[in-house]
Amino acid sequence: MKQISIGLLIGIVISTLFFLTKDFFTTEIRIPGNHVTIRLLIDTKKPIEKIVLTSTHSNQTIELYGQTETVLIYPNSGEGEFKVCCLFKDGQELCSQRHYVEAGYSPTLKIKETEIETIDFY
């Protein structure tokens, strides 16, 4: 009986340590299901001043400091549209086409010198 108790105690301690360390060292981002995640890949040598997201449910502006990739996350409880515009430091503005999205979509866009290309959708 004593050996069973010790075995159960060791099992509980090992399980607890496993779940605690897994939670502490996980880099996974948990995004609510009613949000849209847009991944932007920067493939241009031209310096970017800012990126502007305009959507049915959110407007965001971010500044980049040399990143080659960024992620925009915004709430979208149902159906909607979004458009991403990139303002270069030389004054040129480059915009994507409007995209239809629903909650949970995760499109990937690539910003190039002359266009914003859709790489992946959903």
pLDDT in tens, 62-94: 998 889 999 999 999 889 999 999 999 999 999
Q: What is the pLDDT along the chain (122 residues), one digit of tens a residue?
A: 778 888 888 989 888 888 777 767 766 667 788 899 999 999 999 999 999 999 998 999 999 888 999 999 999 988 999 999 999 999 999 999 999 999 989 999 999 999 999 999 87
For the chain, strand residue ranges (E) read 35-42, 48-55, 59-62, 69-75, 79-88, 93-95, 99-102, 108-111, 116-120
What residue segments make up the domains of the chain, in order of their start? 35-120
* 117 in Cβ contact with 109 (< 8 Å): yes
The CATH H-level superfamily of 35-120 is Domain of unknown function DUF5300 (2.60.40.2890)
* Ordered alpha helix ranges (H), 54-102: none
Six-digit token pair at 33?
């299901």
Here the tokens at position 2 are 């004593």
Residues 6+ apart with CB under 8 A from 85: 51, 52, 54, 93, 94, 95, 96
Q: Is the pTM of this model over 0.85?
A: no
